[in-house]
Amino acid sequence: MNVLGIESSCDETAAAVLADGCRILSSVVASQDLVHAPYGGVVPELASRRHVEVIVPVVESALADAGVKLGDLGAIAVTQGPGLVGSLLVGCSLAKSLAYVMRVPLVGVNHLEGHIFAAFLEPPPPEYPFLALVVSGGHTALYHAPAPLTYTLVGRTRDDAAGEAFDKVAKLLGLGYPGGPIIERTARHGDPGAIAFPLAQMTDQAPDFSFSGIKTAVSLRVNRHGPLSPGAVADIAASFQATVVKMLVRKTMKAASRLGVKRVVLTGGVAANQALRGALAAEAALHRITVHVPSPRLCTDNAAMIAAAGAARIAAGQRAPLTMNALPDLALA
Ligand code: KG4
Ligand code: ZN
């Protein structure tokens, strides 16, 4: 069965066609980076307007790339939440219209479950039970998945998401938007041990994350030592990245050993970061834990992951009514 996936939860307009629940026939992502770059972050009103402009051509491209027609679709999966309400509404409206006109089943997908399902798009798929670290621009959370389509929240950020911290630190350093890839590139020229940034510790020992402290530490450093030389900027980027990676890897490994799971899924936009991928793989190998990390293009927002999660939910008998609506605060667990 061919499933059309539609994703518009934040600043990426995406559509994909998936066959058999895991074979990507096409995946089109229209980035809005240039729209939001002048503001150093996503402007919700501009995001929804841009989605309206490009979503139909994006879906048409996905169908054309896959070599299928609307009539060849067996189901439509769309991101229902969490995300920006105005952005989500654009994808949901189109998905509902297409499902109504083509008389095919519709399913609403949780964006975070979509990120987890990106790991099922490349062999070998993760076996249950596993622990998933979803680390993106809007979310940083650890989920325990004991069985298909079942999730328990293990830990989450108490303030900023990790990707948000990358974006804000890049802005403080005058590097541009989106910050993650730019910090990663800049960090290659810096010394990760140059600055000892604080590692957030939870006084209650909870497996939660916090990234606001390190962001403030960078801000204080920029204000105190600015204007910074390119070498100083690279050292801050490298030290910041190394500290964030250390926090993410440490909490994930601790949670995995406490839960006794032998498989970890690393996903979300920040999972495109090579330093994080490398550090988690190295630490996991020491504990004989298998890490599943999607290719970078499947870690960042895309619609193939939404179609994959949707196909699994369709197979489990789930259907959304045409009255379904965007849920900006939709929880996964
Ligand atoms: O998953 P995603 O595309 O969208 C959300 O669901 O939020 O994640 C976007 C986030 C942004 O904050 C971006 O800066 C970050 O992922 N990101 C990275 C990298 N590539 C994207 N962070 C660190 N290193 C990267 N290479
Ligand atoms: Zn995302």
- Compute the average pLDDT of residues 50-64: 98
Model confidence pLDDT, tens digit, residues 76-100: 999 999 999 999 999 999 999 999 9
pLDDT of residue 78: 98
Closest ligand 1 atom, CA of 167?
Answer: 14
Q: Do 13 and 60 fall within a single domain?
A: yes
Ligand 1 within 6 A of CB of 305: no
What's the total number of domains in the chain? Answer: 2
- Quick check: 57 and 15 in contact, CB under 8 A? no
Q: Do 95 and 178 fall within a single domain?
A: no
Taking the centre of ligand 2 as the mean of its atom positions, its distance from the CA of residue 224, in whole angstroms, is: 34
For residue 235, the enclosing domain spans: 126-293
Q: Do 83 and 174 fall within a single domain?
A: no
Q: Do 162 and 111 fall within a single domain?
A: no
326 is a domain residue = no
DSSP string of 74-124, one letter each residue: EEEEEEEESS-HHHHHHHHHHHHHHHHHHT--EEEEEHHHHHHHGGGSSSS
Question: Which of 135, 136, 160, 164 has the most ligand 1 atoms within 8 A of CB, as the residue to mutate?
Answer: 136
Q: Do 113 and 17 fall within a single domain?
A: yes
In the chain, % of residues over pLDDT 70: 100
In one-letter notation, the amino acid at residue 7 is: E
pLDDT of residue 247: 97
Taking the centre of ligand 1 as the mean of its atom positions, its distance from the CA of residue 102, in whole angstroms, is: 34
Q: Do 133 and 86 fall within a single domain?
A: no
- Compute the average pLDDT of residues 125-149: 97
pLDDT of residue 75: 98
Q: Do 34 and 78 fall within a single domain?
A: yes
321 is a domain residue = no
Q: What is the CATH number of the domain that holds 67?
A: 3.30.420.40
- Quick check: 83 and 111 in contact, CB under 8 A? yes
329 is a domain residue = no
Closest ligand 1 atom, CA of 83?
Answer: 6
Q: Do 164 and 88 fall within a single domain?
A: no
41 pLDDT tier (thresholds 50, 70, 90): confident
Model confidence pLDDT, tens digit, residues 243-254: 999 999 999 999
Q: Do 111 and 142 fall within a single domain?
A: no
Ligand 1 within 6 A of CB of 181: yes
Q: Do 151 and 280 fall within a single domain?
A: yes
Alpha helix (H) ranges present in 204-323? 212-225, 230-259, 274-286, 296-299, 304-315
Give the ligand whose atoms come closest to the C-alpha of residue 268. 1
In the chain, % of residues over pLDDT 90: 94
Give the list of residues 6+ apart from residue 208 with CB closer than 8 angstroms, or none: 155, 156, 157, 158, 202, 251
Q: Do 153 and 289 fall within a single domain?
A: yes
327 is a domain residue = no
332 is a domain residue = no
Model confidence pLDDT, tens digit, residues 3-40: 999 999 999 999 999 999 999 999 999 999 999 989 88
Ligand 1 within 6 A of CB of 10: yes
CA atoms 279, 292, 200, 178: torsion sign: positive
Give the ligand whose atoms come closest to the C-alpha of residue 136. 1
100 is a domain residue = yes
pLDDT of residue 92: 98
Compute the chain's Rg from CA coordinates: 20
324 is a domain residue = no
Closest ligand 1 atom, CA of 9?
Answer: 6
| Cis peptide upstream of residue 192 (ω within 30 degrees of 0) | no
Q: In the numeric block, which tokens belong to residue 114?
A: 């979509």
Ligand 1 within 6 A of CB of 108: no
For ligand 1, atom 23: residue with the closest CA = 180
pLDDT of residue 202: 83
Q: Do 304 and 272 fall within a single domain?
A: no
308 is a domain residue = yes
The closest alpha carbon to 285, from 232, 231, 244, 249, belongs to 249
Reported pTM = 0.97
Ligand 1 within 6 A of CB of 178: yes
- Compute the average pLDDT of residues 214-228: 94
